[in-house]
A and B are shown apart, each in its own frame.
Chain A
């Protein structure tokens, strides 16, 4: 296998991974169209993309906005959520899920995640509900849909909203239905790294007419009861998203095929493992491909040391999130042992652009892990 690249050996892979975002003349023509028209804020392109995305995901209403954080804020404001209200969220997610709650004045309440899919554990959510709970923020982390059956049941039982944070889950589906059309509303991010991107952008989807009208009122100058907030998408962003949306189905298919192959390659290893499959997850968006590192099989080598060595071999892998309650400024109480363990000892992810590579490149990922595993002594001794 050779010496570890971490200690000066030849990396298993030196070729680069596919660059992101993908673009060609279509995006160039999209920019030209907007530039020639000279209207840069919400206009024709935004309206056209809203229609295209609603068709794509099957939601009744679609509102393109400035990003996938303000989309959450707008949904919460449209639901009338504010000071004194609570929203349940997982701690294993990006800070935006938390900040959006704080920014509307509500109180974030952490519920633990499931070790099966790293998403909210419905039992933990049930335990976190109080009379002040107004919504569950269901983050489909990495692009794998949450358990919509169980979380919808909790939401219905308590008469609260189920808001999908599908920031990483564009195109994902649960029991054959796109996550953008599930729950009370969904929020999608189109930030630079996302599977559907325009640099900075976001999408709100809902089947609820009153929620749609409330968001639209806020984006259109406000009225007697709605704030006036210019949080619409730019015309450049909408035009680029239209071009990117046309690419999305083929990219999704490539990611799915490569992820399945990677599952196949990693499953026999015994020291790493893919997340277990779930028949209800009919489409994982694979914004992140999670690899469980089984630290207790590494002979005393930590997950972080193992990942550093794999990354040095040329694999775009990292250890992912740390629980939000470990951030300075996040002071809410928490009791989330699964999130603590996974974040510290188990989780790792590979970013979506690597899954757009050729099928054979998935073997590089697996072989890099095998190489590092074969060199655990070297790693343990730090040489």
Chain B
């Protein structure tokens, strides 16, 4: 059993407790950034990050991929930003630098780059387009994805899909001023170090994105086991990716570095050929549902397909396999 977890019962159980503060330091050391923050979920971490970048600007725009986990664009909309969709590159399934360049405006405060299935995005190319200080890397499959290049923040879901599962979320940043804003937004407006005062003296109106102590107590053990879990995942990925697929057009999506290998995403160059899904399932793979194009959803304004040709191809051309 985890003695750290049970020992937590003997202290305060929440609101910036000692386990949470220790976990933040440990996570920053693990990912190699100056600061980290553990929150109650991955979307909570994303919300704190986007609020830190967008502030209270009513005209703030956040660029997000039109294909992927709907939570990223949801959070951008939830904070009141205008969600501007850019297309993906079909061979990576991730945000296209070229499409992103077309969507930039003076109001762009953040560019959300999702790691599809744990795949490593091309951060360098995207940073070259929009500036590293706007890049938010969204890692819905948790830790282990190579992040080569500068970025404003990396945000992880530390849930069941992650090699580090504590039922929480985390963000990692280097910029101290940004971290201070993020911390205040996540802690009811209180700056770092002011735990429970009722008078804040801080112009930031914050929410509550705090994590309880219990998940944080699990982090040391989870981090210690992470490399073994990632190695096992990567071995499974390599085996599956080299599989003898029945459709000749099928190949793993391209990525720009080491993956967390949570899922295997494959793209078919014979769109709608129909030869991929059933044989994969017959070979014992768990085929997961792929995403619906986000730009078409009423929630995001039901945009026409014209700007999103690769997303439309992905709708029927991708195969997603759980490892």
B297 cross-chain contacts in A, Cβ below 8 A: 224-225
Which stretch in A100-108, A120-128, A259-267, A278-286 binds the other chain? A100-108
A96 cross-chain contacts in B, Cβ below 8 A: 188, 207-208
Q: Is the CB of B78 within 8 A of A41?
A: no
Q: Is the CB of A31 within 8 A of B6?
A: yes
On whether A99 and B167 interact (CB within 8 A), knowing A197-B13, A329-B204, the answer reads: no
On whether A236 and B212 interact (CB within 8 A), knowing A105-B80, A192-B14, A230-B44, the answer reads: yes
Per-residue B-contact encoding for A25-49, CB less than 8 Å = 1, 0 else: 0011001100100111100000000
Task: State A207–B209 Cα separation when bound (angstroms).
Answer: 27
Task: State A227–B168 Cα separation when bound (angstroms).
Answer: 19
Q: Of A66, A95, A197, A236, which is within 8 A of B188 by CB?
A: A95
B299 cross-chain contacts in A, Cβ below 8 A: 222, 224-227
B201 cross-chain contacts in A, Cβ below 8 A: 328
Q: Which of B197-218 contact A (CB under 8 A)?
A: 198-215, 218
Q: Of B78, B213, B215, B218, which is within 8 A of A227 by CB?
A: B78
> A198 an interface residue at 8 Å Cβ cutoff?
yes
Task: State A103–B185 Cα separation when bound (angstroms).
Answer: 10
Q: Is the CB of A40 within 8 A of B74?
A: no
Q: Which of B8-49 contact A (CB under 8 A)?
A: 9, 12-15, 17, 40-44
Nearest-neighbour CB distance to chain B for A382, whole angstroms, equals 24
Nearest-neighbour CB distance to chain B for A347, whole angstroms, equals 12
> B165 an interface residue at 8 Å Cβ cutoff?
yes
Q: Is the CB of A200 within 8 A of B166?
A: no
Q: Which residue of A lies closest to B157 (CB)?
A: A230
Task: State A293–B17 Cα separation when bound (angstroms).
Answer: 33
On whether A199 and B74 interact (CB within 8 A), knowing A99-B206, A100-B207, the answer reads: no
> B5 an interface residue at 8 Å Cβ cutoff?
yes
Per-residue B-contact encoding for A314-332, CB less than 8 Å = 1, 0 else: 0000001110000111100
Q: Is the CB of B41 within 8 A of A99?
A: no
Q: Which of B153-175 contact A (CB under 8 A)?
A: 157, 159-160, 165-169
Q: Of A77, A102, A236, A322, which is within 8 A of B214 by CB?
A: A236
Q: Is the CB of B74 within 8 A of A222?
A: yes
Interface residues on B, range: 35 or more
Per-residue B-contact encoding for A97-117, CB less than 8 Å = 1, 0 else: 011101111000000000000
A32 cross-chain contacts in B, Cβ below 8 A: 1, 6
Q: Is the CB of B5 within 8 A of A199?
A: no
Q: Is the CB of A191 within 8 A of B214?
A: no
Q: Is the CB of B41 within 8 A of A66?
A: yes
Task: State A6–B301 Cα separation when bound (angstroms).
Answer: 63
> A18 an interface residue at 8 Å Cβ cutoff?
no
B74 cross-chain contacts in A, Cβ below 8 A: 222, 227-229
Nearest-neighbour CB distance to chain A for B180, whole angstroms, equals 15
> B128 an interface residue at 8 Å Cβ cutoff?
no
A321 cross-chain contacts in B, Cβ below 8 A: 198
B322 cross-chain contacts in A, Cβ below 8 A: none
B75 cross-chain contacts in A, Cβ below 8 A: 227, 229
Task: State A191–B13 Cα separation when bound (angstroms).
Answer: 8
Q: Is the CB of A322 within 8 A of B212?
A: no
A152 cross-chain contacts in B, Cβ below 8 A: none
Task: State A32–B3 Cα separation when bound (angstroms).
Answer: 10
> B298 an interface residue at 8 Å Cβ cutoff?
yes
On whether A198 and B207 interact (CB within 8 A), knowing A21-B13, A224-B297, the answer reads: no
Q: Is the CB of A69 within 8 A of B188?
A: yes
Q: Is the CB of B71 within 8 A of A228?
A: yes
A38 cross-chain contacts in B, Cβ below 8 A: 165
Q: Of A98, A199, A222, A330, which is within 8 A of B71 by CB?
A: A222
> B2 an interface residue at 8 Å Cβ cutoff?
yes
On whether A328 and B200 interact (CB within 8 A), knowing A222-B71, A229-B43, A230-B71, the answer reads: yes
On whether A240 and B71 interact (CB within 8 A), knowing A67-B210, A329-B203, the answer reads: no
Q: Of A68, A73, A99, A105, which is within 8 A of B205 by CB?
A: A99
Nearest-neighbour CB distance to chain A for B98, whole angstroms, equals 27
Task: State A330–B206 Cα separation when bound (angstroms).
Answer: 11
Q: Which residue of A lies closest to B208 (CB)?
A: A69
Task: State A66–B48 Cα separation when bound (angstroms).
Answer: 15
Q: Is the CB of A199 within 8 A of B80?
A: no
> B270 an interface residue at 8 Å Cβ cutoff?
no
Which are the 6 A-B pairs with shortest beta-carbon distances?
A: A40-B167, A199-B13, A199-B14, A199-B212, A69-B208, A230-B41
Q: A40-B166, A41-B41, A329-B202 are in contact. List 8 more A-B contacts (CB 8 A).
A: A32-B1, A40-B168, A66-B208, A69-B208, A198-B13, A222-B70, A322-B198, A329-B204
Between-chain CB contacts (< 8 Å), 9 pairs: A23-B9, A95-B206, A199-B12, A200-B208, A229-B71, A231-B41, A234-B40, A236-B215, A327-B200
